[in-house]
């Protein structure tokens, strides 16, 4: 193994590098996160966010994509870096530094599956988490904060919704993430004024009531804008 050297020419040992990924979705009007159950070892049967070690000469983003694909059957989602956690005690097996990523998905468009790597995989409510391995509870809390603030000043909600959606659905996503109710008229006024969304000609009718207009996001790429 090739080591980096310091200025005195001595080899140095540095921690292992891992990536861990928070995958959020809003399901049944609740903010959920995709968790896996660990197969064996010191953390057997504890829940955790999916992750793994980074290979040398592999970028962090590539490592995150590879691990999600290999271990959770999840492909082609947009990942954003959250933060890096490096406390020497965060993993009792030895010092590793975890670069956390977060992603938002619409659960209808996306099918995680258990693999040989994990004992189980499931969506869990973010506000009623099971006992978590490592420092993953802390990472999730941090990610939730980030998600809340990004929802307020960017258009990333698009990643949580299907292409077409009603304004009621959009509002529910905001309410689930922010944990508070919003005023219907002001919300609808705002998202149209700032051109976050635009109306289609299509409508959707679910029950015995007035059909709802379907909307699409004006842009489906990350963009900074004041929503709330």
Partner DNA sequence: ACTGGATTGTGTAATTTATACACTAAGTAG
Partner DNA sequence: CTACTTAGTGTATAAATTACACAATCCAGT
Q: Does 114 bind DNA (CB under 7 A)?
A: no
Residues 6+ apart with CB under 8 A from 1: none
Q: Does 209 bind DNA (CB under 7 A)?
A: yes
Angle at 98 between CA 136 and CA 33, to 5 degrees: 35
Calculate Rg over the CA atoms of the chain: 20
The number of residues that bind DNA (CB under 7 A) is 21
- Min dist. Cβ of residue 185 to DNA (A): 3
The number of residues that bind its own copies (CB under 8 A) is 38
How many angstroms separate the CA atoms of 33 and 127, rounded?
A: 10
Handedness of CA 200, 189, 78, 59 (dihedral sign): positive
Instruction: Select from its own copies, DNA, none the partner in contact with residue 200, using the beta carbon and a kind-dependent cut-off of 5 to 8 Å.
Output: none
Q: Does 203 bind DNA (CB under 7 A)?
A: yes
Q: Does 190 bind DNA (CB under 7 A)?
A: yes
Binders of its own copies among 11-30, rule CB under 8 A? 12-18
Q: What is the DSSP string of 2-55?
A: ---B-TTS-B----EEEEEEEEEEEETTEEEEEEEEE-SSTTTT-EE--EEEPP
Binders of its own copies among 109-148, rule CB under 8 A? 116-117
Determine the interface stretch with its own copies among 25-33, 96-104, 105-113, 124-132 (rule: CB under 8 A): 96-104
The correct pick among 21, 25, 65, 96 for binding its own copies (CB under 8 A) is 96
β-bridge partners, 132:
47
Determine the interface stretch with its own copies among 20-28, 56-64, 126-134, 168-176 (rule: CB under 8 A): 56-64
Angle at 93 between CA 87 and CA 95, to 5 degrees: 35
Give the binding site for DNA (CB under 7 A). 166-168, 183-186, 188-190, 203, 205, 207-213, 226, 228
């Amino acid at each position: 193994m090739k080591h980096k050297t310091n200025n005195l020419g001595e080899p140095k040992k540095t921690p292992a590098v891992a990536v861990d990924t928070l995958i959020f979705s809003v399901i049944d009007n609740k903010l959920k996160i995709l968790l896996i159950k660990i197969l064996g070892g010191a953390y057997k049967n504890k829940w955790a966010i999916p992750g793994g070690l980074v290979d040398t000469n592999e970028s962090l983003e590539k490592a995150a994509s590879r691990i999600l694909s290999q271990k959770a059957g999840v492909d082609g989602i947009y990942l954003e870096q959250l933060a890096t956690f490096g406390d020497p005690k965060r993993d009792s097996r030895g010092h590793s530094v975890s670069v956390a990523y977060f992603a938002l998905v619409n659960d209808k468009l996306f099918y995680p599956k258990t693999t040989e790597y994990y004992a189980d995989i499931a969506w869990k409510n973010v506000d009623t988490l099971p006992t978590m391995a490592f420092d993953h509870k802390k990472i999730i809390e941090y990610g939730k904060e980030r998600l809340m603030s990004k929802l307020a000043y960017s258009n990333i909600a698009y990643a949580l919704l299907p292409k077409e959606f009603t304004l009621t659905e959009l509002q529910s996503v905001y309410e689930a993430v922010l944990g508070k109710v919003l005023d219907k008229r002001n919300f609808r006024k705002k998202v149209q004024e700032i051109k976050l969304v635009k109306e289609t000609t299509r409508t959707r009718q679910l029950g015995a009531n007035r059909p709802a207009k379907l909307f699409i996001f004006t842009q489906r790429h990350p963009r900074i804008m004041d929503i709330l």
